[in-house]
Amino acid sequence: MNREAQRLIIIGNGMVGHHLVEQLIERGATAHYAITVFGEERHRAYDRVHLSEYFTGRDADSLALSDVDWYAANGIELRLAEAVTAIDRDAGEVVTAKGRIPYDRLVLATGSYPFVPPIPGSDRDGCLVYRTLDDLDAIRTAAEQASTGVVVGGGLLGLEAANALRGLNLDTAVVEFAPRLMPMQVDSEGGELLREKIEALGVQVHTERATQRIEDGEDATHRMVFQDDKVLEADLIVFSAGIRPRDDLARNSALEMGKRGGVVIDDRCLTSDPAILAVGEVALWNNSIFGLVAPGYQMAKVATDTLLAPFDHIQGESFRGADMSTKLKLLGVDVGAIGDAHGNQTPGARVFRYLDQIKQQYRKLVVSADGRRLVGAMLVGDNGVYDTLLQYYSNGLDLPEEPSSLILPSIEGAPTLGPDALPETATICSCHNVSKGDICATLDTGASDLTTVKGETKASTGCGGCAALLKSVVEHELEARGVAVDHSLCEHFAHTRQGLYDIVRVEGIKTFGELIDKHGNAATHRLGCDICKPAVASILASCFNEPITDAAHIPLQDTNDTFMANMQKNGTYSVVPRVPGGEITPDKLVVLGKVAQKYALYTKVTGGQRIDLFGARLEELPDIWSELLDAGFETGHAYAKSLRTVKSCVGSSWCRYGVQDSVGMAIRLEHRYKGLRSPHKLKFGVSGCTRECAEAQGKDIGVIATEHGWNLYVCGNGGMRPRHAELFATDLDDDRLIQLIDRFLMFYVRTADRLQRTSVWRENLEGGLDYLQEVVIDDRLGIGEELERQMQTVIDTYQCEWADAIDDPEKLKRFRSFVNDSRPDPDIIVTEERGQLRPA
Confirm whether 738 is domain-assigned.
yes
Residue 689 labeled ligand binder: yes
**Domain that includes residue 510, residue range:** 497-557
Choose among 292, 173, 313: nearest CA to 230.
Answer: 173
Does 32 share its domain with 138? no
Average the pLDDT over 106-113 and give the result: 96
Q: Provide the H-helix boundaries in 88-239.
A: 133-143, 156-167, 188-200
Does 792 share its domain with 657? yes
Question: Is residue 430 predicted with pLDDT exceeding 80?
Answer: no
What letter represents residue 87's amino acid?
Answer: I
Q: Which is it for strands 148-152 and 611-616: parallel, antiparallel or unpaired?
A: unpaired
Does 696 share its domain with 790? yes
Does 174 share its domain with 98? no
Query: Does pTM surpass 0.75?
Result: no
pLDDT digits (tens, 9 = 90+) for 173-227: 999 999 999 888 899 999 899 998 888 878 899 999 999 999 999 999 999 999 9
308 phi and psi angles, rounded to 5 deg: -95, -10
- In the prediction, which pLDDT does 215 show? 95
Question: Is residue 1 predicted with pLDDT exceeding 50?
Answer: no
Distance CA 338, CA 328 (A): 12
pLDDT digits (tens, 9 = 90+) for 279-322: 999 999 999 999 888 889 999 999 999 999 988 877 778 998 88
Confirm whether 442 is domain-assigned.
yes
Distance CA 330, CA 410 (A): 26
Banded pLDDT at 817 (limits 50, 70, 90): low
pLDDT digits (tens, 9 = 90+) for 392-410: 888 888 888 888 888 887 5
Confirm whether 323 is domain-assigned.
no
CATH number reported for the structural domain that contains residue 425 in this entry: 1.10.10.1100
Higher pLDDT, 322 or 726: 726
Confirm whether 334 is domain-assigned.
no
Query: b/e map of 558-567 (b: 16 or more CB within 10 Å)?
Result: eebbbbbbbb
Confirm whether 354 is domain-assigned.
no
Does 163 share its domain with 140? yes
Does 182 share its domain with 304? no
| Distance (Å) of CA 733 to CA 547, 660, 687, 696 | 34, 11, 15, 18
Q: What is the mean pLDDT of the chain?
A: 88
3-state secondary structure of 226: strand
CB atoms under 10 Å from CB of 36, counted, come to 18
Q: Which residue, of 512, 533, 557, is where some domain finishes?
A: 557
E runs forming strands in 194-346: 204-206, 211-216, 222-226, 231-234, 236-239, 243-245, 263-264, 276-278, 283-284, 326-330, 333-339
Banded pLDDT at 383 (limits 50, 70, 90): confident
Does 255 share its domain with 235? no
Choose among 488, 506, 497, 532: nearest CA to 751.
Answer: 497
pLDDT digits (tens, 9 = 90+) for 454-499: 778 888 766 555 666 777 788 888 888 887 777 777 778 888 888 8
Distance CA 74, CA 55 (A): 32
- Tell me, what DSSP letter sits at residue 752? P
pLDDT digits (tens, 9 = 90+) for 587-645: 999 999 999 999 999 999 988 889 999 999 888 999 999 999 999 999 999 888 999 99
pLDDT digits (tens, 9 = 90+) for 247-272: 999 999 999 999 999 999 999 999 99
SS3 labels along 410-447: CCCCCCCCCHHHCCCCCEEECCCCEEHHHHHHHHHCCC
Does 733 share its domain with 652? yes
Question: Is residue 162 predicted with pLDDT exceeding 70?
Answer: yes
Question: Is residue 96 predicted with pLDDT exceeding 90?
Answer: yes
Distance CA 580, CA 88 (A): 73
CATH number reported for the structural domain that contains residue 33 in this entry: 3.50.50.60
pLDDT digits (tens, 9 = 90+) for 412-423: 444 556 677 777
Q: Kindly state the percentage of the chain with pLDDT values over 90.
A: 51
Please give the tally of structural domains in the chain. 5
Give the chain's end-to-end CA distance (angstroms, integer): 51
Confirm whether 231 is domain-assigned.
yes
Q: Which is it for strands 682-687 and 836-839: parallel, antiparallel or unpaired?
A: unpaired
**Contact call for residues 383 and 397 (beta carbons, < 8 A):** no
Average the pLDDT over 717-742 and give the result: 87
Does 660 share its domain with 701? yes
Q: Which residue, of 208, 241, 274, is where some domain finishes?
A: 241
Distance CA 5, CA 567 (A): 55
Banded pLDDT at 525 (limits 50, 70, 90): low
Does 249 share its domain with 236? no
Average the pLDDT over 47-76 and give the result: 84
Average the pLDDT over 71-85 and give the result: 95
Q: Which residue, of 198, 214, 241, is where some domain finishes?
A: 241
Does 88 share its domain with 105? yes
Higher pLDDT, 669 or 381: 669
Residue 649 labeled ligand binder: yes
Average the pLDDT over 373-398 and give the result: 86
- In the prediction, which pLDDT does 411 show? 46
Choose among 408, 362, 357: nearest CA to 691.
Answer: 357
Confirm whether 226 is domain-assigned.
yes
CATH number reported for the structural domain that contains residue 717 in this entry: 3.30.413.10
- In the prediction, which pLDDT does 720 show? 52
Confirm whether 571 is domain-assigned.
no
Choose among 465, 328, 338: nearest CA to 389.
Answer: 338
Angle between helices 532-544 and 497-507 (to 10 degrees): 40
Does 277 share its domain with 291? yes
